[in-house]
Amino acid sequence: MSIKSVLYVAALGWLLSACVPSKDLIYLQADAESQSSGEVFTYQREDYKLQINDILDVKISSLNPEVNAIFNASSMATMQVAQATAQKGGDLYYMTGYSVSEKGEIDIPFVGKVNVAGQTLDQARTTIDTKVGGLFNNYHLQVKLGGIRFSAIGEFNRPGKQVVMQNQATIFEAIALSGDLNSVARRDDIKLIRQYPDGTRIHTINLLDQSIITSPFYFIQPNDVIYAEPLPQKSWGIGITGAQTLGTIVSTLSTSLALTLSIISLTR
């Protein structure tokens, strides 16, 4: 077999192994036994329990002008700073919300410190309501998460720390906010680093399998870290698509072939 033939065979093998198969890029794939469409998935939702450094958005309003005057006066200056911060891309709720302290408390002006760590949002609202109810009558209390903060690292098109301004968000919403995964991200082995009251745990999730919808990790939680590892093709550095890989191989082989022919001509 000639040198040229050997190089062509090697190039073909390299091309076939270097490209990222489409099956490694398609989310929510169904197995052979699953219905192709119309299947109803049941959520395995967990009630999130508040932890240290979480931010709560607490609003108290009333038909009583005195009550409104108290809380509006305490928040007016903060709101002005928060709006300026948000316009620069900062975190609005970090300025206007109430952070859970190391002792598990939030400190609400004129109400005092309220312990909310380890409680669900509904439980925290009841706890805060008890404190506020001892001071005022005929008021409206609103308690919600001040956004869901998470970090996306690894093979994302827009990695970094993000905030979802919702009470809940799915893993796919988090991925979308981070610009989606790039072509060399390993979608079947995503690491989800999640904080719990007793410490941190690392979970592995497969975004290629549609059963992720029924997983307890389908909904992200505050302070989650989503890590996407690279596929081996990234370290090879020869292109992701077939066209990219072929172009790199052709260029390399052309150089190699020219060099080989030069060496052969010199040895004759």
Q: What is the CATH number of the domain that holds 74?
A: 3.30.1950.10
Do 97 and 164 share a domain, yes or no? no
End position of a domain, from candidates 108, 123, 145:
145
Q: What length does the chain have?
A: 268
DSSP letter, residue 51? -
- Vertex 17, ends 13 and 22: CA angle to 5°? 135
Do 87 and 210 share a domain, yes or no? no
Do 155 and 190 share a domain, yes or no? yes
Could you list the residue range(s) of the whole structural domain that residue 154 is in? 22-42+148-233
For the chain, percent of residues with pLDDT exceeding 70: 69
pLDDT of the residue at 21:
75
Do 132 and 168 share a domain, yes or no? no
Do 156 and 223 share a domain, yes or no? yes
pLDDT of the residue at 238:
53
Please say if the pLDDT value at position 38 is more than 90.
Answer: no
Do 38 and 116 share a domain, yes or no? no
The model's pLDDT over 164-220, given as tens digits with 9 standing for 90+, comes to 888 889 999 999 999 999 999 999 999 999 998 888 999 999 999 999 999 999 999
Please say if the pLDDT value at position 11 is more than 60.
Answer: no
Split into its structural domains, the chain has a count of: 2
**11 located within any domain:** no
**5 located within any domain:** no
**86 located within any domain:** yes
Do 159 and 108 share a domain, yes or no? no
Encoding tokens for residue 66?
């005195």
pLDDT of the residue at 12:
47
User: CA 172 → CA 59, 79, 91, 228, distances in Å?
Assistant: 30, 31, 22, 13
Give one DSSP letter per residue of 28-49, joined into a string.
Answer: SB--TTS-SS-PPPPP------
Across all residues in the chain, what is the average pLDDT? 79
Do 124 and 168 share a domain, yes or no? no
**105 located within any domain:** yes
**115 located within any domain:** yes
**222 located within any domain:** yes
Please say if the pLDDT value at position 9 is more than 80.
Answer: no
Please say if the pLDDT value at position 151 is more than 70.
Answer: yes
Q: Which of 31-45, 93-107, 205-219, 244-258 has the lowest mean pLDDT?
A: 244-258
